[in-house]
Amino acid sequence: MGVLERFRITRFALWIQRVFGKRHARIGIYGPPNVGKTTLANRMLMDWAGETIGTVSEIPHETRRAKWKSNVKIENGSSSLVIDIVDTPGIATKVDYKEFIEQYGLDPDEAKRRAKEATEGVIEAIRWLESIDGVVLVMDSTENPFTQVNVTILGNLEARNLPVIIAANKIDLEKSSPATLKSAFPQHPVVPISALTGYNLDNLYTTMVKHFGKRRRKRK
Amino acid sequence: MKKEKGVSVTLISRKKLESFSTDEKIDYIIKEVSKGKILVLENGLTPVEQSALIQQTMAKIDHDTFIGIEMEGYADVENDGNMLRKILNKIFGVIKKPRMTVIGPANLLKTVYKDNNVIQTMIITGKGAK
């Protein structure tokens, strides 16, 4: 194990302990469709467990059932802890099967099936909010962040007092503007990342430690 | 009375909304929006109510007649980044209040632009309330 890898694992383990104060926490990866939730979940799991959790696609609603990896062991020096990572379906207020046909060339039956499963996935993702301890909320930094879905997800997390980190994804794209996300949600930490390339993932974990460590001290 | 062709936009007062329970409010919104009406709520939904509305919308989606909703509202006051307000809210326990919200069927109402202060939507004509 390299020095950098050992550093990342240790910092992440510390973050988990600071945030949750326990040795087993469930972390939800949330966001609208097609923002890179599964790409990030895969990247995180590759870092901590050496495997992936789901397939990715340019077609929205590729993840239509929540998937999780339980008992991911995170080593922290001589001790260790265990987390569950939950990759949730994208949350949307509408699902139109015709978009799958017209924009992505699916046949009508497949498009209808995908749309039906997507609606069930949205319901499931919202239900999972009851069962998680913290959230990495993924947003597409090339898009306008002021969508109702983003606002609704954040509002729910705040109402439930769940700790949240906003991952401003897709900064490898020219149009990305993570600064817009930072100005849109100044009350939450926003970390620009590229889940696709892995760029700045180290900074994501480091920011988690700083942010949640501060929150915990405030509560004392 | 003969029905006119067009899009129905209904403004719902805070008083009327407050007379509903959460379930009644969501049922009312779903019922009206699925009929092709656009609603402007003087007092919007709480985040938990919004997520409940999204869940019920998903359950009601029918491929050919109802593809979901478009919903946009202003962010909570606390979300404007004002540190003094955030501190006062912490001290005095100010409850976040939902703000004005527009909700309509997704095949009829499209959001054109939104930021913290402006919501611009477009009504797609020809598919309005029957």
What is the C-alpha separation between A97 and A111, in angstroms, rounded?
A: 5
**For chain A, what are the domain ranges?**
3-93+122-219
Percentage of the residues of chain A whose pLDDT score is greater than 90: 56
- Give me the mean pLDDT over the A18-46 stretch: 83
Asked if B54 and A93 come within 8 Å (Cβ–Cβ), the reply is: yes
Q: Are A220 and B112 in contact (CB under 8 A)?
A: no
Q: Which two tokens stand for residue A213?
A: 């460590």
> Which of A42-56, A76-90, B112-126 has the weakest average pLDDT?
A76-90
Other residues' Cβ atoms within 10 Å of the Cβ of residue A5: 10
Interface test mutation site (partner B, options A102, A106, A120, A146, max chain B beta carbons within 10 A): A146
Q: Which fold, A3-93+122-219?
A: Rossmann fold (3.40.50)
> What residues of chain A lie within 8 A of the CB of B86, using their CB?
187
Q: Rounded to 5 degrees, what angle do the CA atoms B111, B116, B118 make?
A: 50
Q: Which two tokens stand for residue A204?
A: 């994501």
* B37-79 pLDDT, tens digit each: 999 999 889 999 999 999 999 999 998 899 999 999 886 655 5
The predicted pLDDT at position A72 comes to 72
- Dihedral (Cα; B37, B52, B67, A103), 10-degree rounding: 130
Tell me the three state secondary structure of residue B108. Answer: coil
- Which DSSP letter does residue B111 get? E
* Residue A174 or residue B80, greater confidence: A174
What local confidence, expressed as pLDDT, does residue B82 receive? 64
- Which of A91, A97, A129 has its CB closest to that of B63? A97
Question: What does the pLDDT read at residue A16?
Answer: 65
Distance between CA B89 and CA B38 in Å, rounded?
33
Q: Is the pLDDT of residue B10 over 90?
A: yes
Note whether A159 contacts B46, CB cutoff 8 Å. Answer: yes
Distances (CA, A) of A144 to A165, A177, A197, B128: 18, 9, 22, 27
Going from the C-alpha of B84 to that of each of A151, B80, B89, the distances in angstroms are 22, 11, 8
Q: Write down the mean pLDDT value for chain A.
A: 84
pTM: 0.84
Q: Do A93 and B72 touch (CB under 8 A)?
A: no
* Average pLDDT of the segment spanning A75-91: 73
Residues of B in contact with A96 (CB under 8 A): 67-68, 106-107
Q: Are strands B38-41 and B101-105 parallel, antiparallel or unpaired?
A: antiparallel
Nearest CA among A111, A114, A53, A118 for reference residue A89: A118
Which of A120, A152, A154 lies closest to B54 in CB terms?
Answer: A152
Instruction: Report the chain B residue with the minimal C-alpha distance to residue A112.
Output: B63
Tell me which DSSP letter residue B68 carries: B
Q: Answer whether A128 touches B (CB < 8 Å).
A: no
Given the structure tokens 């046909």, which residue do they identify? A101
Asked whether the beta carbons of residue A93 and residue B81 sit closer than 8 angstroms, the reply is no
- Average the pLDDT over A101-129 and give the result: 96
Higher pLDDT, A181 or B76: A181
CB-CB contact of A15 with A83 (8 Å) = no
Q: Which chain B residue has its CA at the smallest distance from A151's CA? A: B75
